Amino acid sequence: MTDDRTGTKAAKVCGAFVFTVLLALLFAYLFDFYYDLNDDTMIKDILSGAYTGRPSGFCIQMLYPLGWCIALLYKAIPAVPWYGLFLCLCQFGVFFLIAVRLLFLMRRTWTRIAALTAETALVFGLFLRQFVIIQYSVTAGICMAGAVFLFLTAPGTDKPSVFFRRNLLPLMLVVLSFMIRTEVCFMLLPFLLLAGMARWCGESRFFTVENFRKYLTLIAAAVLCMAAVYSLDLLAYSGSEWSNFRSFFDARTKLYDYYGLPKYEEHRSFYEAIGLSRESYALLENYNFALDESIDTWRLEAIVAYQEKLAEQGIGLRDTAGLISKKSLREALWQYKNQLQGSHSLVSMTVIVLYLLYMLLRVVPARGKARVNAVLWLVFLVMVRSALWLYLYMVDRLPDRVTVPLLMMEMVALLGFWLGEGNHLPDMLVNKAAALQAASASKAAKVLVSLLCVTGALVVLLGSLRAVQAEYGRRAAADARWNAMMDYCRKNGNNYYVIDVYSSTSYQNAAYSEKIFTGVENTYKNFDYCGGWAAKSPLARQKLARHHFRDVQSALGSTAYFVTAPGKDLDWLVQYYKKRKITVTPVCVDQIQTASSEIAFDVYQLIRN
């Protein structure tokens, strides 16, 4: 009997693995896998050694232990795109784990097939873009969503050791998400805490020694693992150079992502007091702040503190119980209400459908305490999602890489609450009444899965494929320009190029990026951006030193070249050098063309007069 059960389990796992691999191969056949933004390509360049010439775990955005492991793989086999492969494995790995769980939850063959079809339809219809155009923040969100689903649907037990083993995979996914993108992990943590409370309150008795051991042991293990990797990260970045840069990085992030820059003319006295000229302010405006060494940690922190002081006085930013934000709570509530009333995105509409299905198939048929619990967790889920959305509206931080993981988590939480009810009861508690309830739940599950299959299929027909294909068309045009620029720099390997930040972001709303598995080039890149989140880091200075430059200003003033979009006005650059009593004339010495002879970038040299 044991051998038969083990064989059945192995067959389900192998079936889910084969299914996931086939799906990944189908995606690879239909689409090229892309890095979403130049943020992802920068991380890849640092890890692979394309940025400085040597693989480095100091990729700034991810925690060092994870970066160190990926950099080690690049050192061993440089030709493999380890970073992109890692992100893909994380995303399809979560898909595989959910598929395995669904196969174990469903009793009959047709319901298992329907469950896998539903999962595929949801991924293919709603999140196709996120699975073929990879963004590390979204990957962190997918790991957290997988952790919540696996935790909510894990079989119940009274034994703490068995409970810990059954929830080891969710624990590992949470720690992995924490290392990939700490901020996303923390943003989605309330959903995980809600899932934990739902499981604990769903036990037959709340205050028992076994329950305290079960849940507190799991919580302690998660906290210890996260504390361990975070401590290693702090230790790795504890050197004076990295420590100073991290302070600069935090101030820069707060300024650009959350506060914004106060207008120079309106706050001239403040800027003059901290020694920031109008010319230097222009560099902060156009993100080319790497050019000016006087834009340091102290000045950025001074601007941040000034913004916070103004907010306390009711000027500019809003101060809501200590939270400094661009919008007030009332403004955020107004926007949130409009979002609920006018949301027409496929993902948002699917979330609404899932709420309705949960009400119809779980709340309505339930009786007594079961109905109270179902309504209670639904209310708590709405409260959590509302609080997070209000926060995002207040800080005016709603890019897709933030909102998509949030919506994905909400969907997974709803499905997990529904499918997990009754599944996590200990075997000894399953009596006749429970068996009848489980049978009813199983029947409703079939209806739910079938509806999801139809919904997912309709979503695909309604435009997911077309939308992704249209974006690939735009990316092809952007690729032609960006690849031409990289080829140009590669052919002129003895030169050093500094790229205008705005010119390096996108072309016709398609981000400049790179394919993950096609044309893999991890060789050194002899260009850098004139700003961005890696600017002024020890790695950026190491890159400059490789070309015998002290800083970006002196580099452009000697033999380095400045690359911009065609026809870019460079008066701000002339004025910056003029402020430092250096007269320069930008001379366009070359133009970078695509294969179709379209001018993609201008190459300038600053000639001293």
Q: Which two structure tokens, joined as six digits, stand for 427? A: 């075997």
User: What is the 3-state composition of the chain as percent helix, strand, coil, each rounded to the nearest 5?
Assistant: 65, 5, 25
Q: Is the pTM of this model over 0.75?
A: yes
Question: Three-state SS for 22?
Answer: helix
CA-closest candidate to residue 187, choices 388, 477, 467: 388
Q: What SS3 string covers 544-604?
A: HHHCCCCCHHHHHCCCCEEEECCCCCCHHHHHHHHHCCCCEEEEEEEEEECCCCCEEEEEE
* Across 250-279, average pLDDT: 95
* Across 293-299, average pLDDT: 96
Give the pLDDT band (50/70/90) at residue 426.
very low
Residues 6 or more apart whose CB falls under 8 angstroms from that of 602 comprise 563, 564, 565, 566, 567, 568, 588, 590, 591, 592
CA 548, CA 555: separation in Å to the nearest integer? 9
Q: Are 564 and 601 in contact (CB under 8 A)?
A: yes
Q: Are 390 and 333 in contact (CB under 8 A)?
A: yes
Q: Which long-range contacts (CB under 8 A, 24 or more apart) does 494-497 make?
A: 495/526, 495/559, 495/560, 495/561, 496/526, 496/527, 496/547, 496/549, 496/555, 496/559, 496/560, 496/561, 497/526, 497/527, 497/528, 497/560, 497/561, 497/562, 497/563, 497/603
CA-closest candidate to residue 517, choices 30, 82, 93, 53: 82
CA 299, CA 305: separation in Å to the nearest integer? 10
How many CB atoms lie under 10 A from the CB of residue 223?
10
* Host H or E run for residue 134: strand 133-134
The half-sphere exposure of 420 on its side-chain side, counting CA atoms within 13 A, is 26
CA 495, CA 492: separation in Å to the nearest integer? 6
Q: Which two structure tokens, joined as six digits, stand for 93? A: 């790995």
Q: Which two structure tokens, joined as six digits, stand for 317? A: 């930013």
Beta strands 323-325 and 318-320 are antiparallel
CA 526, CA 194: separation in Å to the nearest integer? 48
56: left (phi over 0), alpha (psi -120 to 50) or beta: beta
> Is residue 572 scored above 90 in pLDDT?
yes
Query: What pLDDT, in 10s, does the model give residues 404-419?
Result: 999 999 999 999 988 8
Predicted pLDDT of residue 500:
97
- In DSSP notation, 140-185 reads HHHHHHHHHHHHHTSPP-S-HHHHHHHTHHHHHHHHHHHHH-HHHH
* Across 217-236, average pLDDT: 97
Predicted pLDDT of residue 225:
97
Beta strands 133-134 and 497-499 are unpaired
Mean pLDDT value across the chain: 89
What is the distance, to the nearest Å, from the Cα of residue 58 to the centroid of all Cα atoms in its chain? 18
Beta strands 561-564 and 584-593 are unpaired
What burial letters (b/e) apply to 492-528, b meaning 16+ CB within 10 Å?
eeebbbbbbbebbbbbeebbbbbbbeeebebebbbbb
CA 322, CA 342: separation in Å to the nearest integer? 31
Question: Three-state SS for 137?
Answer: helix
Question: Three-state SS for 277?
Answer: coil
Give the chain's largest Cα–Cα span. Answer: 93
* Host H or E run for residue 499: strand 497-499
> Is residue 125 scored above 70 in pLDDT?
yes
Query: What pLDDT, in 10s, does the model give residues 348-388?
Result: 888 888 898 888 878 888 788 778 888 888 999 999 999 99
Give the pLDDT band (50/70/90) at residue 123.
confident
CA 220, CA 224: separation in Å to the nearest integer? 6
* Across 189-202, average pLDDT: 91
* Across 86-102, average pLDDT: 96
Q: Are 76 and 63 in contact (CB under 8 A)?
A: no
Q: Both ends of the chain: CA-CA distance in Å?
A: 89
Predicted pLDDT of residue 430:
42
Torsion of CA 328, 329, 335, 341, to 10 degrees: -170
Query: What pLDDT, in 10s, does the model give residues 131-180?
Result: 999 999 999 999 999 999 999 999 888 888 999 999 999 999 999 999 99
Torsion of CA 145, 349, 385, 410, to 10 degrees: -20
CA 293, CA 197: separation in Å to the nearest integer? 50
Q: What SS3 string covers 303-372?
A: HHHHHHHHHHCCCCCEEECCEEECCCHHHHHHHHHHHHHHCCCHHHHHHHHHHHHHHHHHHCCCCHHHHH
> Is residue 479 scored above 50 in pLDDT?
yes
* Across 572-584, average pLDDT: 95
